[in-house]
Structure 1
Amino acid sequence: MTGAALDRRRSFAAIRAAAEARRFLSYGAVAAASGLAWQAARRRMDPHLFALCAWATERGWPLLSAIVVDRTSVAHGAMRGRPLIGFARAAERCGRIVGGDAAAFLADEQQRVFAWADKERGHVLYA
């Protein structure tokens, strides 16, 4: 699958479906939504999720990638280490103030994503 790319529309649909179900999804699930294996998508995931967050920010939506977590965090959503640092940096690049507690910021943003999904349920958001 060399040359295959992560697809924003498919990633958005997967994230929105997970948010409507109030569940977290893995980076691998985002890759799979575009028909890619994790290994094929791995190096592209951070810029892809940042672009998705920037796009969402332009629309006044929360940082949609907040519910995309590493495989070991899918059950609870609480990230640590590199994934949390990456999310916090992306949030700051989107103009958000993370503050001194990135984990608390993430948890708040995850709740915002779930609330957004509830509010927008049934609405066409990506035409």
Structure 2
Amino acid sequence: MAEARHFLSYGDVAAASGVPWNAARRRMDPHLFDLCRRATARGWPLLSALVVDKPSVAHGAMRGRPLVGFARAAERCGRIIGGDAASFLADEQQHVFAWAAKEQGHVLHA
């Protein structure tokens, strides 16, 4: 998805994992935090920046609780958010897109 510059919903992640949304919902935050942690450990951008709430899939700009959750995960991984979580998210999404274009065709081990 990153190579195509597309965003995913939380439901898309659950479906790709073969888990119904009602079962995945409570596990999504820890799952995405683990993805942030692994990306940080490898020097990658925060790949979970592309996972957004369903209303934000078309444009990627989240607000409210989903944005707060992403920002908290980023801070727990040592990222500096600054005063504007929405700008941090947008910047991180661009970093993921650029990173994906650079890594295209490489086998990555998460």
Partner of 1:97 in structure 2? 80
* C-alpha distance in structure 1 between counterparts of 2:32 and 2:57, whole Å: 17
SS in 2 for 1:20: coil
Partner of 2:59 in structure 1? 76
Partner of 2:22 in structure 1? 39
2:95 to 88, 112, 116: 112
CA RMSD of aligned residues (A): 0.8
TM superposition shift of 1:37:
1.2
The yes-or-no answer on 1:59 pairing with 2:60 is no
TM superposition shift of 1:38:
1.0
TM superposition shift of 1:126:
1.9
Partner of 1:4 in structure 2? none
User: Moved runs in structure 1, 4+ residues, more than 2 A?
Assistant: none
* C-alpha distance in structure 1 between counterparts of 2:109 and 2:17, whole Å: 16
Question: Could you tell me the TM-score, scaled by structure 1's length?
Answer: 0.85
For structure 1, the 5+ residue unaligned runs are 1-17
Q: Which has the higher contact order (CA 8 A, sep 6+)?
A: 2
SS in 2 for 1:89: helix
For structure 2, the 5+ residue unaligned runs are none
* C-alpha distance in structure 2 between counterparts of 1:88 and 1:102, whole Å: 6
Q: Number of aligned pairs?
A: 110
TM superposition shift of 1:63:
0.5
Give aligned-pair identity as a percent: 82
Letter in 1 for 2:29: D
SS in 2 for 1:66: helix
Partner of 1:124 in structure 2? 107
* C-alpha distance in structure 1 between counterparts of 2:64 and 2:25, whole Å: 17
